[in-house]
A and B are shown apart, each in its own frame.
Chain A
Amino acid sequence: MQFNKLWRMLRLGVKSLLLHKLRSSLTMLGVVFGVGAVVAMLAVGEGASRKALDEIKALGSNNIMLTSKQNADNQAAAGSRSMVKFYGLKYDDEKRIRGTFSTVEHTVPTKDLRKNAFFGERSAELRIVGTTPQWFELVVRDVVAGRVLLERDMFTASNVCVLTESGARKLLAATSVIGEPLQVGSDVYEVIGIVRNEPGGTSGARTPDSEVDAYIPINVAKERYSDLMIRRASGSFQAEQVELHRILVSVKNIDDVEDTAAGLNRMMTLFHPEGDYELFVPLAVLRAARAQANIWKWTLFSIAAISLLVGGIGIMNIMLASVTERTREIGIRRAIGAKKNQIITQFLVETVVLSASGGFIGTIVGPAIAQVITFMSGIDTIVPLYSIVLAVGISMSIGIVFGLYPAVRAANLDPIDALRHD
């Protein structure tokens, strides 16, 4: 019975809305665009910040990276074109770090090499990194096939290598290559695994494995290849001697990362006054990016709030513009014998139906706009649930409040005053 009544009210409401097509569609449009704009804006904001954060997280937020750097002074001093340049991180640095900071969990030294490699029919210049097994604890990536380096590889100084996906691609190596030989210079390595690598990020820092084709044990690298690296460039040649290209430091507790980094920096300036190193703290960048993303999000949120407000004012105007007409109608209905509640229920049903359908369409339009933005600009967009709830909630409340307000006021007039209204 109750349901029947509701159903009847609903049908009546829809019918009445259809009778006021212009007013209804304008109101609905207000809600649709209010919701749509808010959802789309927040989707852009959310997408942009999520992307930045993901990229930085790939660097490892517990890590600190030290990188060898040929500093400007050093470069200038090397007047002669054929002079060998010595610079960068030393094995001693790594030992010192490990011995000094109790907050440090692992230190991972790496040594970069560029070597021509032969694999079956293929040959390619590979970017090889000599490192320790801990690398794979700090730079956590999926293992596609086989295994990563282990302590025993170090212990036995085995000629083994782990390819990255980009290395495997260069050599056209499939996952079935495990156990096959890879010739690097005059040495032969056994391929023991393939790991994924994270292509370089765009937000300030490169991931440590973005330009790596293969990993070998660092002691093997040190034993077989000299620290001297010669680069030929248009007739002349440059030689540089670098012990370690990188030291990755992982900190046990994320709260200690920034203090440790500061300490590290002090220690390094002491031992490398010439400044031939670079210190990079992903966490600091993460913090900055998060702050940036927040600003970005708030900006978009403000724009969204303003569009919601504008939409709301639109809805309000349309509703209030029809007050006279509605007040008369209410006067007529009241004169005939409608009770206040019946009038208010009728208008409530109308505005709820209107606002709800507007909100529903808006939740389709909003993500669609977000998709279009993604398509046109390449910006990632994510539609978070809260944005839909928020937008629909606010737009519907505006619609209902301003739809109902004139009705409630008119219903509370004496019927004769409602009839006389103009």
Chain B
Amino acid sequence: MTDRVPPTTEAGAPDLPDTHGTPAAPPGQGHATGADSTAAETDRGGALIELTDLRKIYQMGDQQVHALAGVNLELGRGEFWAIMGASGSGKSTMLNVLGCLDRPTSGRYRLEGQDVAELDDDALSEFRLRHLGFIFQSFNLIPQLTVRENIELPLFYLGWEADRSAAHAAKIAERVGLGDRIEHRPNELSGGQQQRVAVARSLANDPPVLLADEPTGNLDTATSGQIMALLKELNQQGKTIIMVTHERDIAAHAQHHMHMRDGIVDRIVRDA
């Protein structure tokens, strides 16, 4: 993930300052095909994310639920993806596996060239801490903590000094438009504001990848628009964003679309 020239320069996000140390390179390629992932294979995982025959099977009594039924996928750096599909098609499962919150039953998942299956629990935590940011439909803020303290959580685990971390959190809160709410608790905020806190928290440790599971699912149209604008801006600044949604107009904000059905990736639409 260092001095590597991406093999192709596809259309994508504009060339914006990269915030996590990799050269300010244009986004990498994004093959999203089944078997013909050839070019990237040789290049130490040229893609940001590589999935090979990924499966997640839930055992429900004597019944097996194939939440992911063999997914092959390559996603590139700096891309903005929307995962779409019917309810129960495996979108959340996919995102949770991508986010290293859940382990696949079988198959290989490489993120930034690292085979995730090789990481033990601590290493996986460290990996999430440095590479991934999450935005959930239900916000998942810690209710007892203030806005600032919620934003500071990743920084605490990174071991930042208290002063520096507080200042940084304030800066990020400002950036998502919550500069004046910093000492409030989540339940004193509207849904849209809470989701912005969640976005701010996911940004605090400046991860290259943001994962969002229906980030606007609990919000009205206007507020959804604001959150989407925020995500788009972040994408333009270089973040790779993968977002689950089943709303067409929300998906429209994303650059690429991926449709899921019964645990497989059914259709890919680039530059939608």
Any B CB within 8 A of the CB of A162: no
In Å, the complex CA distance between A335 and B202 comes to: 10
In Å, the complex CA distance between A336 and B158 comes to: 10
- B99 near A336: Cβ-Cβ < 8 Å: no
Q: Which residues of A have CB within 8 Å of B101? A: 335, 414-416, 419
- A332 near B140: Cβ-Cβ < 8 Å: yes
B199 to chain A, nearest CB (A): 13
Most buried by A among B129, B130, B156: B156
In Å, the complex CA distance between A247 and B193 comes to: 96
Q: Which residues of A have CB within 8 Å of B271? A: none
A15 to chain B, nearest CB (A): 9
Any A CB within 8 A of the CB of B125: yes
B203 to chain A, nearest CB (A): 12
Q: Mark B114-139, 1 if CB is under 8 A from A, else 0.
A: 00000001100111111010101000
Contacts A416-B102, A419-B101 given; indicate if A337 touches B128 (C-beta within 8 A).
Answer: yes
Q: Which residues of A have CB within 8 Å of B134? A: 335-336
B99 to chain A, nearest CB (A): 7
Q: Which residues of B have CB within 8 Å of A12? A: 156
Binding site for B on A (CB under 8 A): 8, 12, 16, 19-20, 328-329, 331-342, 414-416, 419
Q: Which residues of B have CB within 8 Å of A332? A: 140-142, 153
- B121 near A336: Cβ-Cβ < 8 Å: no
Pick the contact of B205: A16, A335, A337, A419 (CB < 8 A): A337
Dominant SS among interface residues on chain B: helix
Instruction: Give 28 pairs: A residue, B residue, CB < 8 Å, sorted on A.
Output: A8-B162, A20-B144, A329-B142, A332-B142, A333-B142, A333-B157, A335-B99, A335-B101, A335-B128, A335-B134, A335-B140, A336-B134, A336-B154, A337-B127, A337-B128, A337-B130, A337-B132, A337-B154, A337-B157, A338-B129, A338-B157, A339-B121, A339-B122, A340-B125, A341-B122, A414-B102, A416-B96, A416-B101
In Å, the complex CA distance between A328 and B145 comes to: 14
- B103 near A336: Cβ-Cβ < 8 Å: no
Q: Which residues of B have CB within 8 Å of A337? A: 125-130, 132, 154, 157-158, 205
Ranked 10 nearest A-B pairs via Cβ: A337-B129, A19-B144, A416-B101, A337-B128, A416-B102, A339-B125, A415-B101, A339-B122, A416-B96, A332-B140
Residue of B nearest to A333 (CB): B153
Contacts A20-B144, A337-B125 given; indicate if A414 touches B157 (C-beta within 8 A).
Answer: no
Residue of B nearest to A329 (CB): B142
- A340 near B121: Cβ-Cβ < 8 Å: yes
Residue of A nearest to B211 (CB): A335
- Chain B interface size, under 10 / 10 to 19 / 20 to 34 / 35 or more: 20 to 34
Q: Which residues of B have CB within 8 Å of A419? A: 101, 136, 140
Q: Which residues of B have CB within 8 Å of A333? A: 142, 153, 157
B186 to chain A, nearest CB (A): 11
Given contacts A339-B125, A416-B101, 15 further A-B contacts (CB under 8 A): A329-B142, A332-B153, A335-B101, A336-B128, A337-B125, A337-B130, A337-B158, A338-B125, A338-B157, A339-B157, A340-B125, A415-B101, A415-B102, A416-B96, A419-B101
Q: Which residues of A have CB within 8 Å of B156? A: 12
Most buried by B among A12, A333, A337, A416: A337
Any A CB within 8 A of the CB of B256: no
A407 to chain B, nearest CB (A): 14
Q: Which residues of B have CB within 8 Å of A415? A: 101-102
Any A CB within 8 A of the CB of B196: no
Residue of A nearest to B127 (CB): A337
In Å, the complex CA distance between A336 and B142 comes to: 12
Q: Which residues of A have CB within 8 Å of B239? A: none
A101 to chain B, nearest CB (A): 80
In Å, the complex CA distance between A340 and B126 comes to: 11
Any A CB within 8 A of the CB of B201: yes
Q: Which residues of B have CB within 8 Å of A336? A: 128-129, 134, 153-154, 157, 201
Q: Which residues of B have CB within 8 Å of A8? A: 162
Residue of A nearest to B99 (CB): A335
In Å, the complex CA distance between A337 and B141 comes to: 14
Contacts A19-B145, A332-B140 given; indicate if A339 touches B128 (C-beta within 8 A).
Answer: no
Q: Which residues of A have CB within 8 Å of B122? A: 339-341
Residue of B nearest to A338 (CB): B157
Q: Which residues 157-185 of B sit at the A interface, judged by CB distance below 8 A?
A: 157-158, 162
- A334 near B102: Cβ-Cβ < 8 Å: no
A290 to chain B, nearest CB (A): 55
Q: Which residues of B have CB within 8 Å of A414? A: 101-103
Residue of A nearest to B96 (CB): A416
Q: Which residues of B have CB within 8 Å of A335? A: 99, 101, 128, 134, 140
Q: Which residues of A have CB within 8 Å of B154? A: 336-337
Most buried by A among B101, B102, B145, B158: B101
In Å, the complex CA distance between A341 and B157 comes to: 11
Q: Which residues of A have CB within 8 Å of B126? A: 337, 339
Q: Which residues of A have CB within 8 Å of B144? A: 16, 19-20
Residue of A nearest to B126 (CB): A337
Q: Which residues 72-103 of B sit at the A interface, judged by CB distance below 8 A?
A: 96, 99, 101-103
B141 to chain A, nearest CB (A): 8
Residue of A nearest to B159 (CB): A5
Q: Which residues of A have CB within 8 Å of B130? A: 337
B171 to chain A, nearest CB (A): 19
Residue of A nearest to B100 (CB): A415
A195 to chain B, nearest CB (A): 71
Q: Which residues of A have CB within 8 Å of B96? A: 416
In Å, the complex CA distance between A419 and B103 comes to: 14
